[in-house]
Structure 1
Amino acid sequence: MALVHPDGSWLSVNPSLCHLLGRDAAGLLTTDFQSITHPDDLASDLGWFRRTLAGELEGYEIEKRYLRPDGSTVCALLSVALVRDDDGKPLYFIGQLQDTTERKQAEEELRRYSDHLNELALQDPLTGLPTYRDLHAMLDTEIERSRRYHRRWSVVLLDVDAFRSINATEGHVAGDRVLRQVAAAIEEASRASDQSARIGGDEFALLLPETAGADAERTGRRIAPEVAARTDGASVSVGVASWPDDGQSKELVLLRANMRLQAAKPLASNGAAPKAGPAGSSGIRRILSLAREQLGMDVAYVAELTPTSQVYQAVSGNADSVRVEEGARLPLDATYCHRMLEGRIPHAVPDTAHEPELSELAITTAAGIGSYVGVPLELSGGRVYGTLCCVSHSPNPEIAEGHVELMRFLAGLVSDQIERDERELTDRGGGAGGAPARHRKGGRP
């Protein structure tokens, strides 16, 4: 307890106050409370002090810090009342202090622990990277910034090839070690401004601000050797997409990055051997599965067109239900794809019953095809390999231009894969001999 003059100097102090402040009574009485108040608390304390002197308040109560001679800080709850004479003139303040140092320390420790828990909740506990939720928050921020300043950005999606096999053969401890090594490799291969996250079991993402196109692709390629150097031969597949080139929304950019990732995965990752022909690889089959999934269609297929016929090279879905069989050959006039390439039907047909060019075809009536989406497969040099198509039994009124745009994107992935597979066949000595003739873009198939 203490008595304080209206100018702030100490008039009287008791032993408990001296003990709390670590000072003797004689020393305190030669100074004022301002000189031993923590600088960060002084302005607030003086504000209440002056308002009380001005008669706005009868007293006040605040928490504040005092400085001890040894440099340490003590926290106290200060209760102040002003005593005036009969004329209302201020005589002195009565101040009572309660030591709150331990309570404040406990509160601070609790706050730090709470912050630590929040940090853990926002981080993947295995790798220390941000999580899927954080990635979406990052993307929202980046889209807003890029729209304001007319910038571009990209996202790189990665996953560990054959990760289930690592867990199955070497154990989950080894699998966890690989994930930590991959996370470290991504961090090592990225810039300080890039932001990485673990978004699934063996899936990672890297946000590249102000980076697009070839620069983003180079970053994606740079990660693979870094992973190989840090692990015992593990590899990653990579898919890259850019905003706004691949879409105006984060969802569409992520979707297209994921589609490129799926198309890039090694053929052996699903245990299926590729067929001899270029359009029968498991990479293309994965793209067909994506097409069915994203469009909600029953069957997706790659059709190769020759001057006289159409050949079903790869099929995904219940092919029997629509009488589409891999390797089957149909006359051109009996197919949807030929008509689509000639411009006789649109790329998207929500209901074949309303399209005269299709409603009477045998494939429509026999297989009961109700809806169709198809786009050309264009190769380098202006060649048209054939078409990428999806069909369903039921009419689908939801089919629109957005579905066609997505199919065109997937067709680009299929075309790239066909040309890669053709090169691999040539390198293995298989050549392209015997392959049906391709068609020039814009020409009659």
Structure 2
Amino acid sequence: MQTYPDPPTQPATEAWVDQLRIITAAGRFQAGEVSVQRAIGELLGLVRDLLKLDVVFVSEVVNGRRVFRHIESQDNASPIRPGDSAPLEQTICQRILDGRMPNVVRDVSAVRDAQGLPRNFEGMGTHIGVPVRMADGTLYGMLCGFNMSGVTELDERDVRRLEVAAGAAARLLASADGREHPPSDPALA
């Protein structure tokens, strides 16, 4: 019996970037809001699976509020819905943006009181978030993910992955607006 070596495998990060290329290319070549919605949903699903999170979302900052625009959750069991909003100052998003909290918070419930977060964050586990910036540098909102309970081990490499995904999301959002968004990450060029 003759055996053959396994084919070489791509490192997980390279495979993930390849999937991002496919998703963002699909968003670019298929016009219309529905395809952009689908592409962003696929992107968020990929992020959720890779980082082992319960919920991943893209929010928009509008008139001092964080508004949920795109949400992907495990088994559609998300406590948030598109269109839900809150004053930005009452969010983890604002604290990440102004540096009061790091991009990765291992256990939100452990720091909720010290951070002055509202009761709806009680019991929340891990949270990770990065800004979504358009090509001209303006802030669109945030790309974040969290576990409703429990802790996921995330690190700076995961923050970098989320930043790449935020760049892809910005490109998709720009294409929905009819604006071209050059990739800010050379891996997606």
TM-score (norm 2): 0.80
Residue in 2 aligned with 1:295? 51
Q: Does 1:412 align with 2:151?
A: no
Residue in 1 aligned with 2:92? 336
Structure 2 gap ranges (5+): 180-189
Residue deviations 1:16-58 (CA, integer Å, cap 9, x gap): xxxxxxxxxxxxxxxxxxxxxxxxxxxxxxxxxxxxxxxxxxx
Larger radius of gyration: 1
Equivalent positions of 1:7-406 (< 5 A) are 133-134=6-7, 136=8, 250-265=11-26, 274=34, 281-318=37-74, 321-355=77-111, 356-357=114-115, 360-365=117-122, 368-406=123-161
Deviation at 1:319, TM superposition (A): 8.6
CA contact (8 A) 2:53 2:152 kept: no
Aligned length: 176
Instruction: Work out the CA distance in 2 between the residues paired with 1:319 and 1:377.
Output: 25
Instruction: Work out the CA distance in 2 between the residues paired with 1:309 and 1:345.
Output: 18
CA contact (8 A) 1:299 1:319 kept: no
Deviation at 1:397, TM superposition (A): 4.9
Deviation at 1:349, TM superposition (A): 0.4
Residue in 2 aligned with 1:17? none
Deviation at 1:362, TM superposition (A): 2.6
Residue deviations 1:229-278 (CA, integer Å, cap 9, x gap): xxxxxxxxxxxxxxxxxxxxx33222211222133235999xxx718xxx
Q: Percentage identity across aligned positions? A: 23
Specify whether residues 317 and 267 from structure 1 end up closer, same or farther in structure 2 by C-alpha distance, changes over 3 A only.
farther
Structure 1 gap ranges (5+): 1-113, 123-132, 140-249, 425-445
Instruction: Work out the CA distance in 2 between the residues paired with 1:268 and 1:362.
Output: 43
Deviation at 1:320, TM superposition (A): 6.9
Instruction: Work out the CA distance in 2 between the residues paired with 1:310 and 1:385.
Output: 10
Highest RCO, 1 vs 2 (Cα 8 Å, sep ≥ 6): 2
Residue deviations 1:112-149 (CA, integer Å, cap 9, x gap): xx9xx98xx78xxxxxxxxxx43x17x7xxxxxxxxxx
CA contact (8 A) 2:24 2:171 kept: no
Matched residue type, 1:362:
R
- The CA RMSD over aligned residues, in Å, is 3.0
Residue in 1 aligned with 2:177? 422
Instruction: Work out the CA distance in 2 between the residues paired with 1:320 and 1:369.
Output: 17
